[in-house]
Amino acid sequence: MTPVAAVIGSGPAGLFATDGLSAAGWDVDVIDALPAPYGLVRYGVAPDHLKIKSILNRMRQTFIRPGVRFLGNLTFGRDIDLAVLRRHYDAVLFATGAPSDRALGIPGEELPASRSAAEFVSWYSGHPSADPAIGELLESTRTAVIVGAGNVALDVARVLAKGAAGLSHTDVPDPVLAALRTSAVRDVHLLIRRGPAQVKFTPLELREMNSLPGVSVSVEPVPLPTDEASQQQVAQRRQLATMLGVFGQWALRPVPGRQERSVVFHFLARPVAILGTGRVRGIEVERCVLDGAGGATGTGEQRVLDAQLVIRSVGYRGAALPGLPFDEVTGTVPNEAGRVSAGVYVAGWIKRGPTGVIGTNKADAGDSVATLLGDDLPVVAHRDRDAILTELAGTDVVTWDGWSRVDSSEIDLGRRSGRERVKIADLNQLLDLARERPRD
């Protein structure tokens, strides 16, 4: 009697959970809204982070485990609901991540050239729902402003600063590469509302900014702001000391001559309003001071930074799942060690919020799987695993074989342009490739 689980979401948390369940003797159907697996590793990790992306080879192994199947192109809440899942599976584990973005809540945020990092990352990652208009915005953008001091802000800044030359070896879709080729972006400003001791970057990612050909990097203000609370924070997190060293070097070195592109880190700079009618023309920024308690307060002193594109990179946010409880404040599903209720579990960002690196999800998913296994759930004997496929007959499920056809096509495309892979972003094209025969 083999128990069967459904894991919703094929990103790192979902696949770590699948590994754990499979190792414990469970069969697993991994269900994803997209026809392609791997979640944020395929659609979030920056295309030039090849070493991190190489985890895909390991993730692929999950689907080769006996009893593990991929059921793609199935959106939970639209194509399949909790009642159906509970009928066909002995346990259901949600690892749906945090697909939405947080808003700044300032005037002008709704302007067409004010975008979230989630949108921008989706665009360069070839996500099927990405807005192609983002590529057009780059053509008329000389100065881009990014709000936030996390690793996603660094990814976005690096992609803009590198341009096509720095990404031509990666798997970005051809239209993305073409847009980067005609990009007019010269200056990239990062607005950081607190000081250098409060950034959420990590040292490796920060240092990477230093080695971009043709890109000058500088910081403002100089000398770097600090206070006793900052010193205490640095003493508690070694990574901060390393990053302060990097910022210190950038602050001390002579102002570089004009390079092809520039990146400027502005500390104590709080966005107040995005300016423009129809199109972004700038961003109003308030100077802040450290408040002695690890935060920063506004001084009322404002200035306008000219910009044609504003990207807010202030964190992701989980989306509510129909039939499951949801905490609107944290954007997570309330749970106890991964258990939402007996038979229903969560793992990854939808469980703990959008923090940590890919590896963080291993322990996180492991804990949820341990909870699930410890619950001693009733198991249906001799389950017909194909019954779910019969029930889903009206949908357009993409199986592992279907995805493999897409995978081969992307590799083929890559071969033709001297790359390892070229991603296909268009949903219809993905689905046509996934089908054995294109739809008539």
**Binding-site ranges for ligand NAP (CB under 6 A):** 49, 104, 147-153, 155, 193-194, 198, 200, 202, 205, 313-316, 354-357
Q: CB atoms < 10 A from the CB of 187, how many? A: 19
Judged by CB, which is closer to ligand NAP: 36, or 311?
A: 311
CB 288 within 8 A of CB 187: no
Which of residues 29 and 155 has its CB atom nearest to ligand NAP in the complex?
155
**Cα(318)–Cα(48) distance, rounded to whole angstroms?**
26
Q: How far is the CB of 163 from ligand NAP (least distance, A)?
A: 19
Closer residue to ligand NAP, CB minimum distance, 2 or 355: 355
Closer to ligand NAP by Cβ: residue 50 or 235 = 50
Report the residue closest to ligand NAP, judged by CB: 150
Give 88 or 312: the residue with its C-beta nearer to ligand NAP: 312
The 3-state secondary structure of 355-403, one letter per residue: CCCCCHHHHHHHHHHHHHHHCCCCCCCCCCCCHHHHHCCCCCCECHHHH
CB of 435 to ligand NAP, least distance (A): 34
Q: How far is the CB of 204 from ligand NAP (least distance, A)?
A: 7
Compute the C-alpha angle 321/324/330, nearest 5°: 70
Task: For the CB of residue 208, give the shortest distance to ligand NAP in the complex, in Å.
Answer: 9
Query: Is residue 110 classed as helix, strand or coil in its secondary structure?
Result: coil
Q: Nearest approach, Cβ of 249 to ligand NAP (angstroms)?
A: 21
CA angle (47, 53, 54) in 5-degree steps: 140
Within a 10 A sphere around the Cβ of 83, how many other Cβ atoms?
Answer: 9
Comparing C-alpha atoms, which of 172, 111, 107, 171 is closest to residue 141? 111
Closest contact distance (angstroms) between CB of 117 and ligand NAP is 6
User: What is d(CA 161, CA 436) in angstroms, rounded to the nearest whole number?
Assistant: 41
Smaller CB distance to ligand NAP: residue 91 or 172? 172
